[in-house]
Each structure stands twice: as C-alpha cells, then as structure tokens.
Amino acid sequence: MKSKILVGLQFFIIFLMILPLGSKTQHLYSGLVILGLGIGIGLLAIREHKRGNFNIRPDIKENCELVTGGIYGYVRHPMYLSVLVSMFGVAVIYFTYYEFVLFLFLLLTLLAKLFYEESLWQCHNPAYIAYMKKTKRLIPFVF
C-alpha cells in the first residue's frame, strides 16, 4: 500500500508540474536541454534492465535480478535521477515559485520512495549491501 501511495503522489506532482497554468515559458532552451539530459539518463537505465525486471513501484518483483551494470554502476536509482533531472528541466521552462515548490515535493516523495525501496532490497538480496558500498544513491560520487 505504501508503494502505491508513493507512486500515486509522484505522478500527481508530475501532472501538476506539467500543467502550464497560464505561465509562459521563461527559459525554454535551457529547460529543454535539462529535460533531454533527464530523458537520456532514463534511457540508459532502461537499457540495462532485462525484460520483466522493471517495476514502477518500489516493491521487489518475484524473480527479479539486481542490476549493477552500466549507469547502475554509478548510481543505484538512475530512474529516480532521470525523473528529477527531467522535472527540474520543466521547472526551469516555467520558472515559477509554484514549479519549484512542486519540485521540492517531488524530491521529497522520490527520496521516501528511494529509502523504502532500499530497505526492501536489503531484506531481499544480501548482495545489495555490497552494492550499496560501491555506488551512490542518486548523484554519482556525491549522494
């Protein structure tokens, strides 16, 4: 139930962020570059997954495999990073306090989702603890 709430909240915030609500674009080109970077990160992450291994919810799927190659060798949650970078690009495009407050809520939601998922992985797969020591959560070499 917790995972469904977190995913629902995530998508609700994203929906609110992409609604223009009468705002004209402020920094279209810089925002599009950031958005493109976020999409690129997501595509790199998807490329590393085996069919049936991907899950939008933080719950651990039955018979799933721990992915540690490619971008997952640098960050444990590149899909969350992808969403954050992409939506930061959207916030830059519309550049309002409303967008940045929503972005902060999205950040908090994804951090809650990330910590919840990590707690599940630690219980599910002992190799995850060793993987945690080699990689950062969200930002390569930093966090």
* Beta bridge partners of residue 75, listed in sequence order: 136
Higher-confidence residue of 26 and 52: namely 26
35, pLDDT greater than 90: yes
Share of the chain above pLDDT 90, in %: 50
Is residue 116 packed enough to be buried (19+ CB in 10 Å), middle (13-18) or exposed (0-12)? Answer: middle
- The structural architecture, per CATH, of the domain 2-134 is Up-down Bundle (1.20)
Closest listed residue to residue 112, CA positions, set 104, 100, 123: 104
Q: What is the pLDDT of residues 62-111, one digit of tens each?
A: 777 788 889 999 999 999 999 999 999 999 998 888 899 999 999 999 99
Residue 72 · residue 18 · CB < 8 Å: no
